[in-house]
Amino acid sequence: MPRMPNTLKLKYGCNPNQPHASITYTGGGENPLAVVNGTPSYINALDALRAWELVRDLRHATGKPAAASFKHVSPAGTAVFGEGDTLSADFCKAHFYPAPGDHDYSPIAAAYARARSSDRVASFGDFIAVSEPVDLSLAKLIKPEVSDGIIAPGYDDEARDLLAAKKGGKYVMLRIDPAYNPGAHTESRTCFGLTLEQTFNDCVIDASILQNIVTANKDLPAEAVESLLVATAAIKHTQSNSIGVALGGQAVGIGAGQQSRIACTRLACDKADRFLLKQHPKALALIDRFRPGVGRPEKVNALDQFTRYHELDGTELSELHAVLDGEPAPITRDEALDWCASFGALALSSDAFVPFRDNLDRAARSGVKYVLHAGGSARDDLVTDAANEHGMVMALSGLRLFLH
């Protein structure tokens, strides 16, 4: 398949009233990017490249196949999947995937199933990135989803043909050379007629950033290391301020783009709670009670609503009841706390220092036991004291990961 020209005209800019949009390769040699199908937009291109950076980082950090589901230049979810990892039947049911016995999940297909499940509501209309070539197993999972496109290092023939027929033949498919490395360079953007430049952020996410453990508890098992690396790689590619919460190699809650860190922490932990509650027996029972004809997006929204049943107003409750046969039995607060605690310890990473203990107090309520942040605040000692009170293991990376 021919490579794309050095400059490709895109469909339009961020909005249709911005008609001029293009993407240009300025490096030497052959262009590392190719259009396999469809016509990407400006936002598609941004999501694709940012998402590819994330799965590339995760592949390096964990050695496992990685996937990401991107929306508006931040990950809605991301995950890895490798030898020894499994997808349970309850997980597949809770996130509307075929049961393990009904679908042959390849590692990259399972990684994407995890990534999209992190926040299925946010992933509606996502742009996908995967670190491995797209196989038929993955293509079959993507086919029924509402998605704008995918970037990958390659496509098996059957997978390419299946996805190329999506969206009436307009599904965007990009191929990137996995060996491509932009190297040290300066990146620039023009804002309001003025050009800003900065050195490309090529910091490496690996276990070396976890060495400075400052809490009394210093027990950091391998699974926690992987989850901290996943959470940290995710927030490196998330609009700041950002907090990532991960479990078992999957980002289960991402709080992005907030002006205060506690708002990010609340968002990330609330999402993590809802992710875990979707596998509660009462939530799984709800899935069996949808009225005939209810579509998958409506089911996803209804299940998400159910996990915060106690917060719903009258209109939202009516909308939920309208798609169900009978009234659901809500999950009580005590049931929710016990259920979330049964999954084991969660890991949290921050894209800068944690300035106040309220972040750790909120994180502790969601079962967070492992924390990584940059450090360098005047209140570091107070935050460390809070981590010790909660029995957490906390490390200071010395690495700030702002993205704007």
- pLDDT over 90 percentage in the chain: 76
Confidence band of 4 (pLDDT split at 50, 70, 90):
low
CB 342 within 8 A of CB 281: no
Residue ranges of the domains in the chain?
7-176, 186-276+338-396, 281-330
* Least confident piece of the model among 107-116, 283-292, 301-310: 301-310
SS3 146: coil
> What pLDDT, in 10s, does the model give residues 272-294?
999 999 999 999 999 999 999 99
Q: Which CATH architecture has domain 7-176?
A: 3-Layer(aba) Sandwich (3.40)
Cα dist from 167 to 34, 49, 134, 177, 349, whole Å? 20, 22, 18, 25, 37
Q: Which pair of tokens denotes residue 101?
A: 């016995």
Query: pLDDT at residue 1 above 50?
Result: no
> What pLDDT, in 10s, does the model give residues 180-203?
988 878 888 888 889 898 998 888
Query: pLDDT at residue 137 above 80?
Result: yes
pTM of the model: 0.93
> What pLDDT, in 10s, does the model give residues 316-331?
888 888 899 888 888 8
CA distance 111 to 105: 9
- Name the strand (E) or helix (H) holding 263: helix 261-277
Cis? peptide before 388, omega within 30° of 0: no
User: What positions carry a catalytic annotation?
Assistant: 71-72, 241, 404
In three state form, how does the secondary structure of 158-215 look?
HHHHHHHCHHHHCCEEEEECCCCCCCCCEEEEEECCEEEEEECCCCCCCHHHHCCECC
- Report the CATH fold assignment for 186-276+338-396: Cytidine Deaminase; domain 2 (3.40.140)
